[in-house]
Structure formats: C-alpha cells, structure tokens
Amino acid sequence: MDYSPSRMIPLAGEALDEKLREFLAEDVGGGDVTSEWTVPVEARARGRLIARSACVVSGLPVARRTFELLDSRFSWEGEAAAGSAVEPETTLASLSGRARPILTAERVALNLLQRMCGIATATRRYVEAVAGTDCRVLDTRKTAPGLRAFDRMAVADGGGCNHRDGLFDMVLVKDNHRRLAGGVAAAVSAARRKAPLGMKIEVEVESEEDLYQALEARVEMILIDNQSPETVARWSRIARESAAPPFLEASGNMTLGRVREYALAGADAVSVGALTHSVMAADIALELEPDE
C-alpha cells in the first residue's frame, strides 16, 4: 500500500504572526517594565543565539519573526540550517536592533526555539535508532495545546514524519470508538459511509480477532498498540499475507531502547508520543551587548 505521512503545512504569514502576537501579549501584558525603566529608549544591542548543548536545529525562522514583530528594522544573519546537528557553543544566528524590543521578545523567542530544537533532537535519535530499516518515525496528537504546528515542524526537521494533523483529516478508530460503535466492522462501515473519497481509515487493534476484522474490512492502515515485538512480528506476517496488505503502525510506550525491535518486527512506522509530550528543551542562550 502507498502511504506517505504528510508534513503539516508550516505556519507562515499572518497565521504565524497571529500566534506569535498571542504569545507576546501573554508575556508582555501592560508592558515590559524592566526594559522600559532601565534601558534607554534609543539604546541598540547586538548579540548571538548560542546553543549551549548539542542539538538538532529547528525553529530559527520562528524566533526571528518574534523579534521582527517588535522591531521592523531588526537585523538577523548567519542562520543555521534547519535539521542540522550542532555542537555546544555553536552560534545559531547573529542579531542586532533596538535593545528594548529585543529584550521584550527574548523569552518568547527562546521558549519556542528551545522546545523546537529539543523535539528535533529527540526525533533524530529515534530516526537514527531505526536506520537501515524501512520503518518511519511518526509523531502523535500528544502535543501542547496551541503549539502543535510548532511541535510538528520540529519533528519534521528532526527527520520524522507527521501523522494526521488532527481529528479532521483522517479516521482513526481507537479502542473506545470500537467499543461504542459495536466493533471493528461496524465502526469501519459507518466511517466509510461518511468519509470523503481519498480519506484514509486506520483501526487500532489489541487482539488477533480485532486484526482479522480490520483486514476483512480492508482498512488502509492498522495500528498495533501496546503489544510486544514478537506479537507485532506475528501480526505483521498475517497482515502481509492478506488480500489487501495495510500500512502497519506500532505504538505504545516506545523508547529508544525498544524502537528498533519494532522496526525489525515488520512495522512500517512507529509512533512516539514522547517526541512532543515530554520534550527536554535544548539549552540555548541569547548573549547581548551594546551596539554603539
């Protein structure tokens, strides 16, 4: 079966600006009193964004735009490429502009940049763990509300693939849907009556009976959840021998130490919630000095 997880369309233009203005408003409120009361209005600053920890780069255009929204004549150069791996003390970008706006935007820009680099770095580790197999690393909907687009851009920069964007662009029949609908066959039949042409249907299976029902329904994708690599291998063989072999996704507490076993067991993809739900932010600093 031909299935390619799609990359979420990156936020850009007014959609990105709207998000960033929201984040800035949350932080600034009635004003950045420290910067306004201590830094002269005419003061200018120059500085560098520095990776203090090794990381995979993601989010620099987002950080840049955060600063630009507060200073239209802000200057930025030497941006490290998205997806590149950098060592500690690497300069990610150099910047200059009016001091007050830079200080005001600093925390929002760094929060997003550190999170995105952290996600990209974690994703790269999982991608490297399954290297040499045909298995892909997928993200999940376990993202921080309001940050999904940023989180998923970071997964893609790390070499992973984006799964469904949300609840609206693909049918995924999980355990609760299955029980409430009256079983796999009933759920798939009901979804097919409503789904537009080309929309994929995936079914989560937790037993061999579920698996056979999903194969009989000829769904495009099957999610094998919370099973051992041995079970995934056995069910993969069953699925490959069916009349319409589906795309097989494995999930459930995936760790770096276990993920390759699932890739070798026959999964076309592994989905890893930890990429976004428990990210460790990269250590990135902004060092500033007066720009006379």
Q: What is the pLDDT of residue 292?
A: 78
Q: Mean pLDDT, the chain, as a whole number?
A: 95
Strand stretches in the chain, DSSP E = 44-51, 55-56, 75-77, 85-86, 90-98, 136-138, 171-173, 201-205, 221-225, 247-251, 269-271, 284-290
C-alpha torsion angle, residues 247, 253, 255, 260 (rounded to 10): -30
pLDDT > 60? residue 7? no
Q: What is the pLDDT of residue 8?
A: 55
Confidence of residue 3 (pLDDT cuts 50, 70, 90): low
Model confidence pTM above 0.85: yes
Length of the chain: 292
pLDDT > 50? residue 1? no
Q: What is the pLDDT of residue 9?
A: 60
Comparing CA positions, the residue from 87, 90, 84 lying closest to residue 57 is 84
Task: Summarize pLDDT for 75-131 with one digit per residue, the tens.
Answer: 999 999 999 999 999 999 999 999 999 999 999 999 999 999 999 999 999 999 999
Task: Summarize pLDDT for 238-267 with one digit per residue, the tens.
Answer: 999 999 999 999 999 899 999 999 999 999
Task: Summarize pLDDT for 16-58 with one digit per residue, the tens.
Answer: 999 999 999 999 999 999 999 999 999 999 999 999 999 999 9
Q: What is the pLDDT of residue 5?
A: 57
Q: What is the pLDDT of residue 11?
A: 80
CA pair distance 221, 246, nearest whole angstrom: 5
Which residues participate in catalysis according to the annotation? Answer: 107, 142, 174, 204, 225
At position 51, the amino acid (one-letter code) is A
Q: Domains in the chain, please, with CATH?
A: 13-126+279-290 (3.90.1170.20), 128-277 (3.20.20.70)
CA pair distance 172, 201, nearest whole angstrom: 6
Task: Summarize pLDDT for 161-201 with one digit per residue, the tens.
Answer: 999 999 999 999 999 999 999 999 999 999 999 999 999 99
154, containing H or E segment: helix 148-157
C-alpha torsion angle, residues 167, 215, 247, 152 (rounded to 10): 20
Task: Summarize pLDDT for 150-162 with one digit per residue, the tens.
Answer: 999 999 999 999 9
